[in-house]
Structure 1
Amino acid sequence: MRLFLSFFFCLCCSALTGFAQMKVSYSANDTGGVVIHADSRLALVTKSHAPQQRNYIRSTHGFRVQIYSGSDRAKASEIKLDFMRRFPGIRTYMTYVQPQFRVKVGDFATRAEAQKIYQQVSTLYSPCMIVPDIVELTNTQKDD
Structure 2
Amino acid sequence: MKNLFYLFSMAFVVNFSIAQEGKINIEQDNKITELLDIYKSSKHNSEYYRIQVGFGDYAKAQEIKSNIEIDFPDLPSKIDFDSPTYRVRVGRFKSKLEAERKFNEVRKKYPDAMLLKPKKSTI
TM-score band w.r.t. shorter chain: 0.5 to 0.7
Number of residue pairs matched by the alignment: 79
Give me the TM-score of the superposition, normalised by structure 2.
0.57
CA RMSD of aligned residues (A): 2.2
Tell me the SS of whatever aligns to 1:61. Answer: coil
| In structure 2, distance between residues paired with 1:96 and 1:63 | 18
Task: Point out the structure with the larger helix share.
Answer: 2
Q: Which of the residues 91, 96, 99 maps onto 2:81?
A: 96
| In structure 2, distance between residues paired with 1:81 and 1:133 | 25
Q: How does 1:1-144 map to 2 (within 5 A)?
A: 60-70=46-56, 72-133=57-118
% identical equivalent positions: 30
| In structure 1, distance between residues paired with 2:64 and 2:109 | 10
Structure exhibiting the larger radius of gyration computed from Cα positions: 2
Counterpart of 1:67, as a letter, is V
Tell me the SS of whatever aligns to 2:87. Answer: strand
| In structure 1, distance between residues paired with 2:77 and 2:53 | 10
Tell me the SS of whatever aligns to 2:47. Answer: strand
Task: Point out the structure with the larger strand share.
Answer: 1
Q: Give yes or no for contact 1:67–1:128 (8 Å, CA) kept in 2.
A: yes
Tell me the SS of whatever aligns to 1:88. Answer: coil
Name segments (4+ residues, structure 1) moved above 2 Å.
none
| In structure 2, distance between residues paired with 1:101 and 1:92 | 13
Tell me the SS of whatever aligns to 2:109. Answer: coil
| In structure 2, distance between residues paired with 1:133 and 1:84 | 23
Give me the TM-score of the superposition, normalised by structure 1.
0.49
Q: Give yes or no for contact 1:68–1:126 (8 Å, CA) kept in 2.
A: no
